[in-house]
A and B are shown apart, each in its own frame.
Chain A
């Protein structure tokens, strides 16, 4: 197993809470021929942090850079969750037992049949991959996001 395979590139963009800014980001991606796979928006009154996983991270990064957006590149994990009640809480329980710290997480819908996919940002990604695989959790590989 190569733990690098499970690291999924996530791009975060700073956006001011102003009309049209969200649209500008998605338009920049579209113009660059990039498809957004999963996305989350954390926002306050003043600003927002838009995070997403795409099929072509490099192209997305360059296009946003060229358009003067403020961005950060990060690595997250995609974990499959049973699409039934209690599925997520079971997973969170496992993570807690493994003593892993989550910085944030968000859902990725319609990814697999009968399963939901959650994206997690862990403090220590390498440790998280090893422990979760040992605990028999289903981690999705990066290539999965390139193809869907």
Chain B
């Protein structure tokens, strides 16, 4: 199902032409309205005439999270506050929060892009949508809310917290679509089961739109089985707008990027050079339609890959894969790059394993020691020591084959890993550098 069929099925040539035109306009717009960009573009000797082909975007300097912090709070805004109608910001767990603003048109654009990913996931005006994203400064709640409302679905803005109550609402209001983080979706399934709910009989859920944290295909299978739904991934970050940058179609194999509103590049995070199509690297985003806060070549720190191969759904928009990690989540253990998603993939292939895990890295002497804590359950517990050890040795072996380094699994008691309402805390790095 399409929301803007014309826009979603342009030829690749049309997409590129549109991107070049919009990029030129935005360079001029930012130059005239944001002192920060005026200085940067002057330093790099760039104006709109520098852009002739889409590759010319590489002449532009990068923008980073630090640029947002240095210009806190409104220094990167291109309009005066009179035109700004909404402010969102990141949680700011480290340092100052990242502040973003929206004009009326920006909100309209955002709403349409969310409507697009919701349609692509199969949501219709008949659906009842339970949104368990926090409503507030975080872009997830409000972002999804207006887009889903736009397509005519009935929204239950439950926000986050009190899982038992959420489940009661999902059941009583007959929600057919669930919107939250993937880890929270699993938590809902777990609590529902514990409270004696028969998910197939008592709930009407059919679609999940999950985002705001990375998750693997194994986790998707798990969520789909536990909640009896189709689970779709979507991606975005507040710096460039919020969710709606990309979302999966019914193929569930990559998220179509709204290329009529953004330019996506994949670069090698070490060399800053573009990688070949289909190779993993850091996603870099340029906004093409934002009024309040145009951003050029934003370093997302997310590691993914992009394909422009035609998709069976009919969309011509490029698809990005699920991010496999963040450049700054990447753990370097004994000199080897490790992404938590690689560990998750091994774990979720084990029959009966609990979805709650945590990776703890310590330094003993000069050596890094990584331990994966997994909650034990009856499926993973053998009454015989020999079998129990054998079972753990097998997981350790699988981890070693996948990662190339020794990582040991430790079973911990149920509920001893902290549950999160938002993003799951997967890594505890106790090393002091």
Chain A residues packing against B (C-beta within 8 Å): 12, 14-16, 21, 42, 44, 46-47, 49, 51, 68-72, 74, 103-104, 121
4 tightest CB-CB pairs across the interface, nearest first? Answer: A12-B383, A72-B383, A14-B381, A42-B385
Binds A, one of B7-15, B173-181, B405-413: B405-413
Q: How many pairs of A and B residues are in contact by the CB < 8 Å rule?
A: 50
Chain A facing B: main interface SS: strand
A46 & B383 in contact (Cβ 8 Å cutoff): no
B385 & A14 in contact (Cβ 8 Å cutoff): no
- Docked CA distance A68–B378 (Å): 11
> Which of B378, B386, B389 is close to A70, meaning CB atoms less than 8 Å apart?
B378
Contacts A16-B412, A49-B383, A71-B381 supplied; 16 other A-B pairs, CB < 8 Å: A14-B376, A14-B413, A16-B411, A46-B410, A47-B411, A49-B384, A49-B385, A70-B376, A70-B378, A70-B381, A70-B413, A70-B414, A72-B378, A72-B383, A104-B384, A104-B385
- Shortest distance between the CB of A98 and any CB in chain B (Å): 21
The residues of B that contact A15 with a CB separation of less than 8 Å are: 413
Q: Produce 1/0 per residue, B364-396, CB < 8 A to A.
A: 000000000000111001111110110000000
A-B contact pairs, 29 of them (CB 8 A): A12-B381, A12-B383, A14-B376, A14-B411, A14-B413, A15-B413, A16-B376, A16-B411, A16-B412, A16-B413, A44-B385, A46-B411, A47-B376, A47-B388, A47-B410, A49-B383, A51-B383, A68-B413, A68-B415, A70-B376, A70-B377, A70-B378, A70-B381, A72-B381, A72-B382, A72-B383, A103-B384, A103-B386, A121-B383
The residues of A that contact B389 with a CB separation of less than 8 Å are: 44
Of chain B, the residue at the smallest CB distance from A73 is B383
> Which of B383, B385, B413, B416 is close to A74, meaning CB atoms less than 8 Å apart?
B383
- Shortest distance between the CB of B375 and any CB in chain A (Å): 9
Chain B facing A: main interface SS: loop
- Docked CA distance A69–B376 (Å): 10
Of chain A, the residue at the smallest CB distance from B371 is A46
The size class of the interface chain B forms with chain A is 10 to 19
The residues of A that contact B381 with a CB separation of less than 8 Å are: 12, 14, 70-72
The residues of A that contact B410 with a CB separation of less than 8 Å are: 46-47
- Shortest distance between the CB of A11 and any CB in chain B (Å): 9
- Docked CA distance A12–B378 (Å): 11
- Docked CA distance A10–B418 (Å): 32
- Shortest distance between the CB of A39 and any CB in chain B (Å): 14
- Shortest distance between the CB of B407 and any CB in chain A (Å): 14
The residues of B that contact A103 with a CB separation of less than 8 Å are: 384, 386
> Which of A21, A71, A121 is close to B378, meaning CB atoms less than 8 Å apart?
A71
Of chain A, the residue at the smallest CB distance from B378 is A70
Residue of A12, A47, A71, A72 contacting most chain B CB atoms (<10 Å): A47
- Shortest distance between the CB of A140 and any CB in chain B (Å): 20
Of chain A, the residue at the smallest CB distance from B379 is A70
- Shortest distance between the CB of A15 and any CB in chain B (Å): 7
- Docked CA distance A68–B375 (Å): 12
Of chain B, the residue at the smallest CB distance from A45 is B410
- Shortest distance between the CB of B379 and any CB in chain A (Å): 9
- Docked CA distance A56–B110 (Å): 63
> Which of A21, A51, A68 is close to B414, meaning CB atoms less than 8 Å apart?
A68
Of chain B, the residue at the smallest CB distance from A47 is B411
- Docked CA distance A72–B377 (Å): 10
- Shortest distance between the CB of B215 and any CB in chain A (Å): 26
The residues of B that contact A16 with a CB separation of less than 8 Å are: 376, 411-413, 416
